[in-house]
């Protein structure tokens, strides 16, 4: 749905990407202020040729992290745990191997040292969530809390789930589902059976895509992604079993419109996030908490709670090419969601085109 003629250049850009084979199926949504000005569906959502629709859901990998963080922050808002309270206060088993002083803030900002599942997780079913949580409780941190920055690529959601479940008796995914229902967000950390027909299948645009990460010379990156086995395997991630289960660090299924709409209201003092967690936690959620060289990403990063932030944007991308952000400088938000696993070149091109328009 094109709302303003000026956005036709973005439509043309994305369509050319499909025509060239650089993209096979994607959704793009742009909001200017609180109004959606573009809701684009291109390509197919599976190898059978079914067309991508504006309500197509797709697995977005680490685009999930801000939503896992938000679900955890609702427990803080409700007084179940404090940001700087030792996790072991609510989860005593977590204190093992020197983790007694690790706080929720350390986890939310990727500073806990638990950026990889322990070696024992190699033999755990990736969808045995409780076993993975127990493995993290018994894990040895790879650095002391607060003394390093490393994206908790796969562990983020299970760590937050463990804290939230112990503090509230409710799962992280259920708390997020409550938010999504309340605010009518088409965002899912666990897909309901009724929504499965809308989900796109992921596909490798490069057959060596997964191996490129799992055999990286960056040991921290490899360790963060290679256990448990399966999260980069499209046969698993395309299964109904994966879609309806939970892996909150990476398991968000979303439409482009819902993602961009969330970011459009993120900083609004009267918006849904502020309503639910309050202005002080909203400030914590979106402010830089850790800045420096990220061991996993091997670059300089400024982390909030789940987002990456710089002087002009707040957002988060996922391995494979999906991304969503809000421009604090130009007042727009955008989401690009794709089923074609490759680099972020496609969304980078969209970003550049939008920046030209505004």
Instruction: Give mean pLDDT, residues 92-98.
Output: 98
Instruction: Give mean pLDDT, residues 243-270.
Output: 99
Instruction: Show the CA angle centred on residue 249, arms to residues 247 and 252, nearest 5°.
Output: 70
Q: Is the pLDDT of residue 3 over 70?
A: no
Instruction: Give mean pLDDT, residues 296-308.
Output: 99
Q: Is the pLDDT of residue 350 over 50?
A: yes
Q: Is the pLDDT of residue 1 over 70?
A: no
Percentage of residues in the chain having pLDDT higher than 70: 99
With cut-offs at 50, 70 and 90, classify the pLDDT of residue 4.
Answer: low
Least confident of 5-9, 87-91, 202-206: 5-9
* Domain ranges (residues) in the chain: 5-357
Q: Is the pLDDT of residue 39 over 70?
A: yes
pLDDT at 5: 54
Q: Residue 55 class from Cβ within 10 Å (0-12 exposed, 13-18 middle, 19+ buried)?
A: middle
Neighbours of 314 (CB within 10 A): 25
Instruction: Indicate the pTM of the whole model.
Output: 0.97
Q: Is the pLDDT of residue 317 over 90?
A: yes
Q: Is the pLDDT of residue 241 over 90?
A: yes
Instruction: Give mean pLDDT, residues 269-297.
Output: 98
pLDDT at 343: 96
Measured between alpha carbons, how far is 23 from 112 in angstroms, rounded to an integer?
36
- CATH number belonging to the domain at 5-357, selected among 2.60.120.10, 3.40.50.920, 3.30.70.940, 3.40.710.10: 3.40.710.10
Instruction: Give mean pLDDT, residues 2-30.
Output: 90
With cut-offs at 50, 70 and 90, classify the pLDDT of residue 152.
Answer: very high
pLDDT at 2: 45
Instruction: Give mean pLDDT, residues 251-277.
Output: 98
| The residue to which tokens 């993120």 are assigned | 266
pLDDT at 319: 98
- Going by the DSSP 8-state scheme, the letter that residue 123 receives in this structure is G
Measured between alpha carbons, how far is 299 from 301 in angstroms, rounded to an integer?
6
Report, in angstroms and rounded to the nearest whole number, the Rg of the chain calculated over CA atoms: 19
Q: What is the mean pLDDT of the chain?
A: 97
Q: Residue 337 class from Cβ within 10 Å (0-12 exposed, 13-18 middle, 19+ buried)?
A: buried
């Amino acid at each position: 749905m094109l709302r303003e003629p000026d956005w036709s250049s973005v439509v043309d850009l994305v369509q050319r990407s499909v025509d060239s084979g650089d993209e096979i199926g994607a959704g793009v949504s742009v909001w200017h202020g609180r109004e959606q000005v573009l809701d684009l569906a291109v390509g197919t959502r599976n190898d059978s040729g079914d067309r991508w629709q504006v309500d197509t859901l797709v697995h977005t990998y680490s685009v999930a992290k801000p939503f896992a963080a938000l679900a955890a922050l609702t427990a803080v808002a409700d007084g179940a745990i404090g940001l700087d309270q030792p996790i072991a206060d609510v989860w005593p088993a977590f204190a093992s191997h020197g983790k007694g002083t690790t706080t929720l803030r350390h986890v939310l900002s990727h500073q806990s040292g638990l950026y990889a599942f322990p070696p024992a997780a190699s033999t755990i079913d990736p969808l045995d969530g409780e076993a993975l949580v127990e493995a993290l409780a018994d894990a040895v941190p790879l650095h002391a809390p607060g003394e390093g920055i490393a994206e908790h690529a796969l562990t983020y959601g299970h760590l937050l789930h463990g804290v939230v479940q112990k503090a509230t008796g409710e799962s992280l995914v259920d708390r997020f589902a409550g938010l999504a229902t309340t605010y009518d967000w088409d965002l899912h950390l666990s897909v309901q059976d009724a929504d499965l027909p809308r989900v796109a299948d992921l596909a490798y645009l490069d057959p060596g895509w997964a191996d490129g990460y799992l055999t990286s010379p960056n040991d921290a990156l490899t360790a963060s992604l290679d256990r448990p086995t399966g999260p980069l395997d499209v046969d698993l991630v395309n299964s109904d079993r994966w879609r309806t289960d939970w892996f909150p660090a990476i398991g968000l299924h979303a439409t482009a419109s819902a993602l961009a709409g969330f970011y459009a209201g993120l900083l609004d003092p009267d918006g849904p996030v502020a309503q639910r967690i309050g202005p002080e936690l909203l400030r914590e959620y979106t402010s830089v908490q850790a800045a420096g060289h990220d061991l996993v990403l091997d670059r300089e990063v400024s982390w909030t709670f789940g987002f990456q932030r710089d002087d002009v944007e707040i957002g988060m991308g996922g391995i494979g090419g999906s991304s969503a952000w809000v421009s604090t400088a130009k007042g727009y938000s955008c989401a690009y969601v794709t089923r074609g696993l490759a680099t972020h070149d496609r969304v980078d091109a969209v970003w550049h085109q939008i920046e030209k328009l505004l």
